[in-house]
A = this chain, B = another copy of it.
């Protein structure tokens, strides 16, 4: 289970009820009309889990047992969600294949990641909705040359493509006879982690993606049945604060939540940062922090800086990693001995609570998400929670939550630089 709680005041006035009612109608319509496809993924992607699992016997390379590593070639929505789930489950020791990410056009990073891989042990998964992402295609071509990938004969089983049906990349896969999984047209990149984008690589890595989908689906159903009203209320609160508290901080108390916060930053920033119907520049700025580390970095600004922020704390009830601060007392540094005998699990959660209380006392609007423990089902719930929250706030702001017209200009300028 996940517990949600809050320290901000939400009145629930008639005006607010209207806002919530209308936003709810918008997203219920997105769902029922099929305009927006992510609502359907917890159900629709179930067959993908089976399809990916069947590759273990049907793909000769995977069946041989030689494949210990998976190279994921993708950027933005084609990598952030996979990394978020992978990082959270990494410490559980259930993974059977290591995931490696090629996402940046940074030559040092590409060279370093290539050096970790051997062709004989690696499956390559190329992910791009459009098929025209310059980082992805450039890196893929570099890997073809570096690992001598033939795209014919036995090597064809070494490459899997995930893309929109009919995209250039899809046609490429068809032309060379490569394995291919498609992303539904009505699912945007940043909402795609529960589509083939996430399900195929995460299943092949050994994670229980059926549970990931079940957790997501269960929360989604509860929400549409009106049993998660707090989510709608939070959306309304954030929407109403958009001008005053335009910065939304996600303060996550666990190192392995860092990639989840990066996934959230893309989802929130790219969905809501828009020119609205009246021509106004709207949107909130997402920031991801990690506790307790960032208590020693960003907290001062939260407490004493401008009152332009809301903060959401994420904590984990049970880290399932017993580690106790030993009953050691050292001369002259006995001041912190009060924590001796406690677990680090207790310490980090007490730090989360204390930091939260200090923000509440300083007048900062705060809420909290407490995850019972880290497993696929809980991660699924967190993913759908944030996707729904984003859709609701987008509906309230009257923006198109699902496009990203602002990033096109830079692409045009880049193309022009090389056309000369």
Contact = CB atoms under 8 A, between A and B. Distances in A.
Interface of A: 75-77, 80, 91, 103-112, 131-135, 137-138, 140-142, 144-145, 151, 168-169, 171-172, 175-176, 189, 246-247, 253-256, 262, 265-266, 269-270, 272-275, 281-283, 285, 287, 290-293, 295-309, 319, 321-323, 325-326, 328, 330-333, 335-336, 338-340, 342-345, 347-348, 350-351, 353-355, 357-358, 361-362, 404-407, 409-411, 413-415, 417-419
B297 A265 contact: yes
Q: Which 3 A-B pairs have the closest CB atoms?
A: A76-B296, A273-B301, A303-B406
A279 to B, nearest CB: 11
A358 B405 CA distance: 12
Contacts of A262: 297
A83 to B, nearest CB: 11
A75 B293 contact: yes
Copies in the complex: 2
Contacts of A176: 330-331
A344 B42 CA distance: 38
Given A331-B171, A332-B172, A417-B354, A299 B406 contact: yes
A300 B272 CA distance: 9
Contacts of A272: 301, 305
A287 B285 contact: yes
Q: Dominant SS at the A interface?
A: helix
Given A105-B347, A246-B306, A354-B417, 13 more contacts: A80-B297, A104-B255, A104-B348, A134-B347, A142-B325, A270-B299, A273-B305, A275-B304, A281-B306, A282-B306, A285-B301, A299-B407, A351-B414
A339 B138 contact: yes
A336 B292 contact: no
Contact of A175 (B144, B290, B332): B332
Contacts of A414: 350-351, 354
A253 B270 CA distance: 19
A247 B287 CA distance: 11
B298 A266 contact: yes
B75 A296 contact: yes
B331 A269 contact: no
